[in-house]
Copies of this chain bind each other. A is one copy, B any other.
Amino acid sequence: MRVYLARDLREASKNCAQKNRELLENTGIIMVNVLGAPGAGKTSLLEETLKAFMGRYRASVIEGDLYTSEDAQRLERWCRGVVQINTEGACHLEAGYIGCLLTREKEPLLAGTDIIFVENIGNLICPAEFDLGEDIRVSLLSVAEGNDKPRKYPLVFKEAHAVVITKCDLMPYVDFDLERAVEDLRLLNEELEIFPLSTKTGEGVEAWCSWLKKQLESRTKTK
């Protein structure tokens, strides 16, 4: 008998995350948790990433939204499958939801997949507090949001492995100091990988995809 202790909900959520992490490690699948404010460009980044991965890796997406399935529809042609989670108002995803999808009887996400992308709820605050058991956490910062955001919402950037600075095509039209943003991000976490890019012009997308592929390949090797 296995005794499962959950002192409180937060503890239970941590246990779920740990269980997800073990499942992923045992199967050699990478899970990427994508965070960012509403309109930061999470879906566009996933769209370009999935296109670059097509034919080479089998990718699945867990798409988190309060309501609607518009983003899921945008992504499904570029990958193996998309599962939509509608939280109906709740402000973040939790490890328990993800665990159910990884192991469900019908079409478990763990089967026949190399990489699972989770598009979290558009919110720079709450999702940062919830570990989903992911291997890689990526936080987005759009240049239209302003370069003060790393100072104002530190957790989401501090706990990420990579930060993607999106909508760089808008740089000439907004007051965004890239150097200062990078400096502030490094102060939060000096090991951060930082990728400025534009999914509109395509600039910088390759560097981001290459880095992600490297993570995937090193994981597959250690499997």
Q: Which residues of A contact B (CB under 8 A)?
A: 37-39, 65-68, 70, 89, 91, 121-126, 129, 142, 144-146, 148-149, 151-155, 167, 169-170, 173-174
Contacts and interface: CB of A to CB of B under 8 A. Distances in A.
A194 to B, nearest CB: 18
B70 A151 contact: yes
Number of identical monomers bound together in the oligomeric complex = 2
A38 B89 CA distance: 18
Contacts of A70: 148, 151-152
Given A173-B169, A173-B173, A125 B66 contact: yes
Main secondary structure of the interface of A (DSSP, over half): loop
A134 to B, nearest CB: 21
Q: Which of A38, A152, A153, A155 has the most CB of B within 10 A?
A: A38
A123 B145 CA distance: 12
B91 A149 contact: no
Given A37-B145, A39-B142, A39-B149, 12 more contacts: A37-B122, A38-B145, A39-B145, A65-B152, A66-B152, A68-B151, A70-B148, A70-B152, A89-B129, A144-B170, A170-B170, A173-B173
Contacts of A149: 38-39
Contacts of A148: 68, 70
Contact of A142 (B89, B123, B129, B144): B144
A145 B170 CA distance: 12
B67 A125 contact: no
A122 B119 CA distance: 20
A95 B203 CA distance: 45
Given A123-B123, A123-B125, A170-B174, A38 B91 contact: no
A66 B128 CA distance: 13
Nearest to A126: B91
A152 B71 CA distance: 10
Contact of A67 (B37, B38, B66, B152): B152
